[in-house]
Amino acid sequence: MTRHGETGRDAASSVGTVIVTETSVGGDTQQIAAGRHRLVADEPRPIGDDIGPTPYDLLLAGLGACTSMTVRMYADRKRWPLERIRVTLRHSRIHAKDCADCETSTAWIDILIATSS
């Protein structure tokens, strides 16, 4: 959805606005407009067509990029001798029933793990 009178391209050019549109009714492939940048998200086969990263991969990419940029900013400001930053992130899921202390037994628990070097 866009604001009244605004095309998808106009809305995506707004700072901080991302527009996600499915490419076909009922399909998993999504077109993403972030400013002037275009991306594709999808699910792996056999659920999707595997033509782009999954939504979780995109989330991890955003978190990793933000982490790396922030570490670089601090290192530059403090004049720390930092050659290169690498952030590795992983996503996994477990059934809530696998968790002895969980409040529900029907949901998934998402686990995000980040390491840097």
49-100 pLDDT, tens digit each? 999 999 999 999 999 999 999 999 999 999 999 999 999 999 987 766 666 6
* Domain segments of the chain as ranges: 1-52, 53-117
pTM value is 0.73
Q: What number of other Cβ atoms are within 10 A of residue 5's Cβ?
A: 6
Alpha-carbon span 44 to 32, nearest angstrom: 17
Amino acid 2 reads T
Q: How far is CA 56 from CA 18, 31, 41, 79, in A?
A: 16, 15, 10, 34
Alpha-carbon span 56 to 66, nearest angstrom: 15
- Say yes or no to pLDDT of 20 above 60: yes
pLDDT bucket at 25, cuts 50 / 70 / 90: confident
Token pair 């968790």 in the structure block, residue? 99
